[in-house]
Structure 1
Amino acid sequence: MKNKIVLISLFALPIVIYLIFSTASHNSLFLPTLSENNSEIPQNWTSLDSSKIALSGKITVLGFVGNNVIENRGNFFNLNQKIYNKYKGFTDFQMVMVTPKGNEAKAKQIINELAPITGDMKGWKFVFASPDEIQSFYDSYKLAGKLDENYGTPAVIIVDKALNHRGRKGKNRKGVEEYKESYNTISAADLHNEMTDDVKIILREYRLALKKNNNKRKDAFRDKIEENVTKANQNNNEK
């Protein structure tokens, strides 16, 4: 009897945990969507290596650096150590920093300073545009925060593969209302305690979706084989 109770508990507990998480607005399974179908990086914007940078198809940490690139190098260090180093192994993860034209050499200096402690810097992207273009692009996301006089902000946001802005809203697991549209790169604690978890959640979302799609393809492939075998047997019987 005791063994049966233990077995039932082991079977039921994961289901109960899943139901609890799935009913929460912000949980360890899904990261809420704050806005959908946001703006893509304009194709006429330039990058350090002249390649075209896109948000679509990537999980992106999007930042607006402004003109004080070197002065705010500590923000890049925090973001690099707390976020990029943890998730740089994912090919569909990137950091995109929007920067006013004329700061190319400063951006390259930041890359060179981070490279010795990071190694692979392929996921770090800087894009350059005019101040007016940057302001227009920023405004299109309809964020509560504002750019400063240098067209920058220490806040970064998460954009998913479908150009949806992701963050926190509604009640958390403690039942407290929260809304978080961005993460403060000045605060290592903010990045470590909240953004790390949120990036982990969205990456896991896509891994689970990929696994589900792979299973569907395997099932379809298996069903096709069974169908072909059945047809072959029927043809043999008819003969």
Structure 2
Amino acid sequence: MKFISKKRIVLFLLFIFPLLFYLVLSSGINNFAKLPIVTKNITDIALIDSSKKVQFKNNISVVCFLGDDISNIKGGVFNLNQKIYKPFYGFKNFQVIAIYPKDKEAEVQQLKKEVGAFTNMVKWKFVASSEEEIIALYESFNINESLHNLQATKAFIVDKEVNLRGRTDDKDQKDGLLFGYDMNSVAILKDKMKDDVKVLLAEYRLALKKNDADRQI
């Protein structure tokens, strides 16, 4: 009897336990609240980046549009840096992309210097482009708000599959749809955007665990 019991224990550890673990893991992944897609298949920034070094594909990106008046958006950029960039820049494939008109290079260099005074800028990506390309990229987000002087006061979340992520049940929006996060509001960045980036990171982390579990079975 002792031999049979030990044999059953060994069989359980080798075969049954991994199966049960996989089922629990799969259940957790399927029931996990994912960050909604609000616009599918937006334009990848790789199409307008002349350096050919920046892309949305396979990255978790926070995107902002600096526009013609860099001084006007500087406060929002500092907020974004403190509340979103610094907590997450250590995560693999995370990046913050700032898009600006080509003739604003000098102002953007100054901005980078100021933001970088107390920040590791390794995951900040600054992309210069033409007015037409900036507008075309923004319009692919399919948002019912226009750029003002190529500038948006909101930052956006783009996933690895180049979809725009946001909220479909936001209590502060009439239709519940939240496409972007006001960079001038520390509360929105801290209470909404930070939480949503966490959800997206967790979503990909759980998907990776599921893939690892699939390979082990």
Question: What is the TM-score of this pair, normalised by structure 2?
Answer: 0.80
CA offsets, 1:15-57, max 9 Å, x none?
Answer: 9xx89x94xxxxx7311111211111144533xxx45210111
Q: 2:191 and 2:181 mapped to 1: Cα distance? A: 10
Query: Which residue in the other structure is 1:40 paired with?
Result: 44
Listed as ranges, the matches of 1:148-227 within 5 Å are: 148=148, 150-170=149-169, 178-219=176-217
User: For 1:1-239, what aligned pairs fall within 5 Å after superposition?
Assistant: 22=31, 29-46=33-50, 50=51, 52-118=53-119, 120-148=120-148, 150-170=149-169, 178-219=176-217
What SS is found at the alignment partner of 2:56?
coil
Contact 1:43–1:52 (CA<8 Å) still a contact in 2? no
Partners in 2 of 1:104 and 1:71 — Cα distance?
16
State which structure, 1 or 2, has the greater radius of gyration over its C-alpha atoms.
1
Query: Structure 2 counterpart of 1:124, which letter?
Result: W
- 3-state SS of the aligned residue for 1:70? helix
- CA deviation string 1:141-164 (max 9, x = no partner): 21122100x211111111100011
Verify the 8 A CA contact 1:157 1:165 in the aligned structure 2. Answer: yes
Q: Post-superposition shift, 1:98?
A: 1.2
Residue 61 (structure 1) shift? 0.7
Query: The residue matched to 2:122 in structure 1 has which SS?
Result: coil
Q: Higher helix fraction: Structure 1 or Structure 2?
A: 2
Q: Which runs of 5+ in 1 are unaligned?
A: 1-14, 23-27, 220-239
Unaligned ranges ≥5, structure 2 = 1-23
**Hey, what's the Cα distance between the residues in 2 that align with 1:116 and 1:126?**
16
Shift of 1:171: 7.3
Instruction: Report runs of 4+ in structure 1 exceeding 3 Å deviation.
Output: none
Query: Does the C-alpha gap of structure 1 residues 177 and 141 become closer, same or farther in structure 2, counting only changes over 3 Å?
Result: closer
User: Cα RMSD over matched residues?
Assistant: 2.3
Q: Which has a greater percent of strand?
A: 1
1:10 counterpart residue number: none
- Counterpart amino acid of 2:45? I
Q: Using structure 1 for the length normalisation, give the TM-score.
A: 0.73
